[in-house]
Structure 1
């Protein structure tokens, strides 16, 4: 964990960095076990294609969690998240190969609020496509 970011060290427009997270089928299987979401669109190509998807897709909540990791790593405390909202705009398609897919996340502080809270706007892409629409995370800083 990194040192805690202090509220007085952050300004509107502060970039919190960019990070790329690999996503392989094994990650989806682990997530399914942890979440209890064993929907076959997350592990079976035949089923995914039968319902009109291009192939197996990552769980939406898995994608959100990976995006939030950029913020929690920046803040240094996963418990600092006060609020998190987004909409899903495109699936993260995960091929059945050794490489899988990637989720690339970047973030910028868009607003400073009272009570040491800041609003971080994220950009979340996979394969060059935005997969989350207007993801925002409110965190309470030290």
Structure 2
């Protein structure tokens, strides 16, 4: 069994740049008709510089990182709060840092950042080792 200490980076994962077509496909897949995801003019009316990506890009990257590192069955719970918008062209990076080890359970802090280092999602998870 791998051993971890508090503060250890235990997993990372980076995305490809998020394209406008990725965002459009996500809108269709999620049946999300909110025009903030596909219409620049509408998004500008909400105070954004243009369309924004769905939060599922942030959630999906964090979840993929955990399942790739520990396996699907090992993830017992995870939670992400969205903290900043994601825009077309952004590249995201997810990181899990060990917080506490309790027997065969590992608690981690999660952060997803864009290419500028802005935290676009943060949360925590518990995985079984």
TM-score (norm 2): 0.84
- 2:72 is the alignment partner of 1:78: yes
Q: CA deviation at 1:93?
A: 1.4
- Where do 5+ consecutive residues of structure 2 fail to align? none
Q: Alpha carbons of 1:131 and 1:29: their partners in 2 closer, same or farther (altered >3 Å)? A: same
Give secondary structure in 2 for the equivalent of 1:9.
coil
Q: CA RMSD in A?
A: 1.8
- 2:57 is the alignment partner of 1:69: no
- 2:13 is the alignment partner of 1:10: no
Alpha carbons 1:45, 1:56 under 8 Å: kept: yes
Q: CA deviation at 1:131?
A: 0.7
Whole-Å Cα distance in 2 between the matches of residues 25 and 43 of structure 1?
A: 8
Q: Alpha carbons of 1:139 and 1:38: their partners in 2 closer, same or farther (altered >3 Å)? A: farther
Q: CA deviation at 1:60?
A: 1.2
TM-score (norm 1): 0.78
Whole-Å Cα distance in 2 between the matches of residues 80 and 34 of structure 1?
A: 27
1:52 corresponds to: 47
Whole-Å Cα distance in 2 between the matches of residues 93 and 123 of structure 1?
A: 17
1:113-137 residue CA offsets vs partner (Å, 9 max, x unmatched): 34x221121221113211113x112
Give secondary structure in 2 for the equivalent of 1:137.
strand
Aligned pair count?
A: 126
2:36 corresponds to: 41
1:83-115 residue CA offsets vs partner (Å, 9 max, x unmatched): 111322111111xxxxx211111221211134x
2:85 corresponds to: 91
Give secondary structure in 1 for the equivalent of 2:23.
helix
- Where do 5+ consecutive residues of structure 1 fail to align? 1-7, 95-99
